[in-house]
Amino acid sequence: MSVEGFSFEVLGEDGPARVGRLTTPHAVVETPVFMPVGTQATVKSLSPTEVAATGARLILANTYHLMLRPSADLVARLGGVQRFMAWSHAVLTDSGGYQVFSLAKLRQISDDGVVFRSHLDGSKHALTPERAMQVQALLGSDIAMALDECPAGGAPQPDVERAMRRTSLWAARCIATPGPVGQARFGIVQGGSDEALRLAHLAEISAMDFDGIALGGFSVGEPIEVMYGLLEVLGPKLPPDRPRYLMGVGKPIDLLRAVGSGLDMFDCVLPTRNARNGQALTWGGRVNMRQMRHREDEAPLDAQCECPTCKGYSRAYIRHLVHAGEMLGARLLTEHNLSFYAALMREARLAILERRYAKFARDVEARMIERDEVGQT
């Protein structure tokens, strides 16, 4: 790697699982790591200071959304995304590739790039590989993702192969686009649920001069066991000297499985979205704070958790806030959920260094499945 201020080193391994240290111009990040999602330069319901207090040192922001509002040029004039949002740690920006998938009805795609019709006002915006990198340069993130095409889960093989070809074409154009000093670039592997296609595209993207490699196109409709099986195959085959990023995943058990397959970095809206829906994610599984059983419960959300929410508030009070629609309920649950994800990754790192990761993951997964109450009445 030749990016100034960016480095990655592996500190310990236990089978495929590994502990690493990712250094960027704004932070030193211990891996495996979960990145809270801050789509519009904000992690929903928390201030940057509160996000940092959960243990986060790397968050994700969205190229497409910030390009439309307030505009990348404005963010650049105001000092870049970190200064703009008063976040003193590291930021990874996605490229808009997920919106190629999620906003399919509002875009036209070709080998040249994507033309979106804004979901805000209907105006047209072109997002080529070059433009995606230019926008991320203006945002000033520590890590910029290459533009990719993500096919839906279960897409026909010709569609998956076209997405692979286009992702590779765009990856080469992203690398050829000049970037700012200190900004690393990650490439993205596609290939749907086909192991042979995934391995072929992994070899192709890994051969390019990216600073990290991501697995895209998971958690988009494929059966969960299919994802787990592919991660077991793909994880150990990712370049060992570069960070390995699984995009858009996911549930705590998904993270445990992925860490066991050798993945280093994760992001997902689940902990913050679930918090706004009244759900706590704990060492004992998901807890639905809308349920009547918590109405007089003086216990914390999670007795094992050291976050301010668990230290200061009862389930009864949080259930009251959620039931009343008070914004503090979402704030406290978000603070807890992000703290829990940080603790899950911290304990995973310790288990790897002590070479007991497989047992750790099995024990935690068993507790979560056994006590998950979200579907209960």
Is 194 a residue of the active site?
A: no
Token readout for 179 is 């970037």
**3-class DSSP assignment, residue 28:** strand
Q: At what angle do helices 252-260 and 224-234 cross, to 10 degrees?
A: 30
Rounded to 5 degrees, what are φ and ψ at 293? -60, -20
Is 94 a residue of the active site?
A: yes
C-alpha torsion sign, points 264, 333, 96, 137? negative
Q: Which of 14, 94, 211, 264 is catalytic?
A: 94
Token readout for 55 is 């243990």
Beta carbons of 57 and 27 less than 8 angstroms apart:
yes
- Strand ranges in the chain using DSSP code E only, listed in sequence order: 7-14, 17-23, 28-31, 33-35, 58-62, 90-94, 107-110, 113-117, 124-127, 143-145, 184-189, 212-215, 244-246, 265-267, 279-282, 285-288
Q: Would residue 189 be called left, alpha or beta, if left means φ above 0 and alpha means ψ between -120 and 50 degrees? A: beta
- Residue from 35, 32, 76 nearest 52 by CA: 35
Residue whose token pair is 């006590």: 371
**3-class DSSP assignment, residue 130:** helix
Beta carbons of 307 and 335 less than 8 angstroms apart:
yes
| Active site amino acids | 94, 267
